[in-house]
Amino acid sequence: MIAWITVLLACQLAGEGTALLLGLPVPGPVIGMVLLFIGLSVRGGVPEGLRDAAGGLLRHLSLLFVPAGAGVAAHVARLEGEALPIAAALVLSTLAALLATGWVMRILGGRSES
Amino acid sequence: MSTASLHDVWVYLAASPLTGLTATLVAYQAGTWLSARCGGHPLANPVLVAVVLLVAGLAASGIDYRTYFAGAQFVHFLLGPATVALAVPLYSQIRAIRRAAGAMTAALLAGAVTSAVGVVVLGRALGASEQTVLSLAPKSATTPIAMGVAERIGGLPSLTAVFVILTGIIGATLGGWALRLGGVRAARDVGFALGTAAGGIGTARAFQHSETAGAFSGLAMGLCGLATAVLVPLLNGVMW
């Protein structure tokens, strides 16, 4: 377990380093994801332990957004003052984006086996 | 040695990282408990419940967000390794992803542009302030990218972070229902739409649906971040 968490952290660290070094606008962890993906492709499979470690983190992905979400507390005044335009714009544009993406996928994506 | 008064204990604990960390986990447990009690009803989204409880708790106790975050950052930190871990489901789904690559490019552009243009046009029309509108524009990107974009176009990065989370919660709570109504049912298509429009929280929701949905959502989240980083500053120069 610890070995595989080390692998995840090492990929992230390499990703952060690459982003800084090359001045890329992409976050380090996203580059780390690409690096791990390349590693898995070269190896030709996912090791059992890595599957467990990644699964453990991803099963509770929701939890990891809670601290940033509570940041609403720091912006209460502005959010209260502009609550209606903010809420309406967020809800409507998010629903429109969901449908636009989903429809294009359904029309152009062909059959999917699930 | 005299015993500390209850007030002294409170003052000490309120400033300790342990309190913020424990409160985060307790709030999330309450969220998952409520979600299970409601049979996984989308409105009982664990993130939404936990955030509401924490914001109410901070207001009631008078602890400011920064003090809270000193503890909660230990959970927040795990977002990095979790993003790296998305490579695993991505790798498992690579054949399905290859097959749909063309459709995904088109769908991603459609979603990213609809989201950014939609929120700016609506925000303006409904009378939001200019700084709020600029902070709203990158809201479909993953948090670190969205904050960078907001800073570049003149928004408030910390406000943008809040909008990203709110967008994720909206997508996770209403997304499945809206897509079903719109006739989008395949796990692949639902996942891709959730990741594009609702980022990481949408991806967490997609993993509840299936591993296929989660993999496509994680991929869409990464790609939407890239598309937003390029498109929003461009749109900002051209159309608003």
pLDDT at A112: 67
Among chain A residues, the shortest Cα distance to B188 is held by: A112
Q: What is the mean pLDDT of chain B?
A: 91
As given in the structure block, the two tokens for residue B114 are 């609809």
The CA distance from A46 to the nearest CA of chain B, in Å, is 7
A90–B88 CB contact, under 8 Å: no
Which of A17-26, B17-26, B62-71 shows the lowest per-residue confidence on average (mean pLDDT)?
A17-26
* ipTM of predicted assembly, 2 dp: 0.90
Per residue in B125-168, pLDDT tens?
999 999 999 999 999 988 878 888 888 888 998 899 899 999 99
pLDDT at A17: 96
Q: Which of A15, A50, A106 sits opposite B189 (nearest CB)?
A: A106
Distance CA A21, CA B64 (A): 36
Q: Which of B85, B127, B189 sits opposite A54 (nearest CB)?
A: B85
Q: Which of B103, B132, B210 sits opposite A105 (nearest CB)?
A: B103
Interface test with B, best of A8, A31, A94 (most B CBs within 10 A): A94
Q: Which residues of A touch B232 (CB under 8 A)?
A: none
pTM (two decimals) = 0.86
pLDDT at B119: 96
As given in the structure block, the two tokens for residue B62 are 């008078």
Q: Is the pLDDT of residue A25 over 80?
A: no
Q: Which residues of A touch B103 (CB under 8 A)?
A: 104-105, 107-110
Neighbours of B9 (CB within 10 A): 11
Distances (CA, A) of A36 to A59, A66, B38, B219, B223: 19, 26, 37, 14, 16
Q: Is the pLDDT of residue A9 over 70?
A: yes
How large is the average pLDDT for residues B112-130?
95
Which of A1-15, B15-29, B135-149 shows the lowest per-residue confidence on average (mean pLDDT)?
B135-149
Q: Which residues of A touch B85 (CB under 8 A)?
A: 8, 33, 36, 53-54, 57-58
Nearest one of B137, B167, B158, B132 to A92, comparing CA atoms = B167
Count Cα atoms within 13 angstroms, Cβ side, for B69: 14
Per residue in A29-72, pLDDT tens?
888 999 999 999 999 999 999 999 999 998 888 899 899 889 88
Q: Which of A12, A90, A103 sits opposite B84 (nearest CB)?
A: A12
Residues contacting residue B199 through CB under 8 Å, at least 6 positions apart:
B140, B141, B142, B143, B164, B167, B168, B171, B221, B224, B225
